Amino acid sequence: MVGCYASGTAVHRSAAGQPIFVSGAGNDARRGSRLCRILYDNVHNHQSNRAIHRSLVPADGNLLGFEPNDDWGDKLSQSRGLVPIAVAKMHSRIIGYTVVRRDIRQGATWPVFLGLISPGRLLTGAVMLAVTAGGLYLAYWLVRWALLDSVWGGSDASVCQSVSGACWTVIAVRYRIILFGLYPYDEQWRAALAIALLLGALILVLSPRNWTPMRIAAIWCLGFGLLMMILRGGLFSLPLVTSDQWGGLTLTLFIFAAVLSIGMPLSVAITLARRSRLPALARLAGGLVDATRSVPFLAVIYAAAVVLPIALPSWLEGDRLSYVIAGFSLHYAAYQSEVLRGGLQSIPRGQFEAAEALGLTPWKRMYLVVLPQAFRISLPATINEIVTVFKETSVIAIVGLFDLTASAHAAFEEGSWNDQFMEIFVFVSAIYFIFSASISRYGAFLEKRHRFY
């Protein structure tokens, strides 16, 4: 049994303000000591002028001479004028409690919560109460707007005129332009198949059983090749659909997958180039990273879509989507290379020396020993960059590409659906949230699987 008491009249003046540990042994003593200190601190910090609160545990295990039964609180109140307000137990035994004088407890204007009242706590409590009330009101309003007062049926905008809540009819009527953009109506099944194919390939790549370089490369190359063939057409009697007709969620996912496929290997190459022993190569890679990171992302996309086609020779001409993906990939590779460089610098020197002692060639050292550890160390920042890439795909609308955000604007800009812009943006925000949250949760799974401890 561990005993302690705090700042009462029985404590010597020199010992006031210090918890006194009377008895105890082993782990119970240490746990009891911590608990008694907590009880004491909570009481002592809030009795500035009058010692009206006390935390008491006698050494013999009894509570001020009373047995720890059900009516010990009444006996304590009648004989000592003290009212227990907080009790601590260990192994079903009472080891500590906080009391307050009965006359002060009865005369208190404010309710006594654990015997701790101070202006700071009252202010904090008032602020938290206001925040909680505001949050509950907002949640109530959202539920009423989105569910209780909403309408789901109908086929035109007339059903939305007399509705005070959300009119989700606009999603049912205009979902095609949100998901597929300007893709020809009769061929939109190809865009839907492309989305399913891309997500399927992504799931296979992210499955732990396929975590080998050859499998990842094979799955991703095959999936991306089929995706291009289905979207563009021109083969197997599929009508040709040029990239300027792609749009919606299909275009957003395509750009996201293409940027990661190009940008991640490019970031590794830039990182290794910056660590090269060739000064010219290291400076070139460093200058490329610094130049890319010092320019706003909007400027990079604009330069890739407008300036780059003018500067390149005619035999390198391509469509606008290709230029945007190239600029986007370079921007992502510059930031990701800095993330990987930080991971490489965190690897102890002994790892390099151990790999060299094993007789591995420089490339095998980097491939088998160094880079896996660098990716593991930089995993949280890498996941953050990937989420950022997915969200930044919404910026490409400024150069005329019909991505998910631009498709959302087009969905309500028709005259009859002008008032339903909020429902459309809630739907689009939910799409962004689902994909971003899924990436973040997968990153948490990877961190847990590959943690060092």
Say yes or no to pLDDT of 362 above 50: yes
* pLDDT tens-digit map of 397-440: 888 898 999 999 888 887 678 888 889 999 999 999 999 999 99
Res 360: pLDDT: 87
Whether residues 148 and 282 fall in one domain: no
Residue 207, in any domain of the structure: no
Residue 191, in any domain of the structure: no
Write the CB contacts of 192 (distance below 8 Å, at least 6 apart in sequence): 179, 180
Structure-token match 């010990």, residue found: 72
Say yes or no to pLDDT of 79 above 60: no
Res 18: pLDDT: 36
Reported residue count of the chain is 453
Q: SS3 letters for 74-85?
A: HHHHHHHCEEEE
Give the whole-angstrom CA distance, residue 322 versus residue 324: 5
Whether residues 23 and 152 fall in one domain: no
Which range marks the domain in which residue 313 is found?
Answer: 169-183+241-449
Q: Which of the pair, 299 or 450, is modelled with greater confidence? A: 299
Give the whole-angstrom CA distance, residue 128 versus residue 115: 19
Whether residues 302 and 396 fall in one domain: yes
Res 13: pLDDT: 34
Span of 14-18, 102-106, 200-204, 443-447 with lowest mean pLDDT = 14-18
Res 77: pLDDT: 59
The pTM score is 0.71
Residue 385 belongs to domain with CATH number: 1.10.3720.10
Q: Which of the pair, 129 or 390, is modelled with greater confidence? A: 390
Whether residues 303 and 173 fall in one domain: yes
| Banded pLDDT at 120 (limits 50, 70, 90) | low
CA count, 13 A, side-chain hemisphere, 119? 1
Say yes or no to pLDDT of 47 above 50: no
Give the whole-angstrom CA distance, residue 190 versus residue 1: 74
Whether residues 80 and 46 fall in one domain: yes
Residue 198, in any domain of the structure: no
Q: Which of the pair, 153 or 242, is modelled with greater confidence? A: 242
Both structure tokens of 354: 């151990």
Whether residues 256 and 374 fall in one domain: yes
Q: Which long-range contacts (CB under 8 A, 24 or more apart) does 88-93 make?
A: 88/35, 88/39, 90/28, 90/31, 90/32, 90/35, 91/28, 93/1, 93/61, 93/68
Number of domains in the chain: 3
Amino acid occupying residue 432: Y
Whether residues 131 and 111 fall in one domain: no
Res 60: pLDDT: 44
Whether residues 65 and 141 fall in one domain: no
Give the whole-angstrom CA distance, residue 137 versus residue 141: 6
Residue 227, in any domain of the structure: no
Cα 24 to chain centroid, rounded: 45
DSSP calls for 46-86: T-SS---EEEEE-TTSSBTTB-SSTTHHHHHHHHH-EEEEE
Residue 210, in any domain of the structure: no
Span of 80-84, 165-169, 275-279, 346-350 with lowest mean pLDDT = 80-84
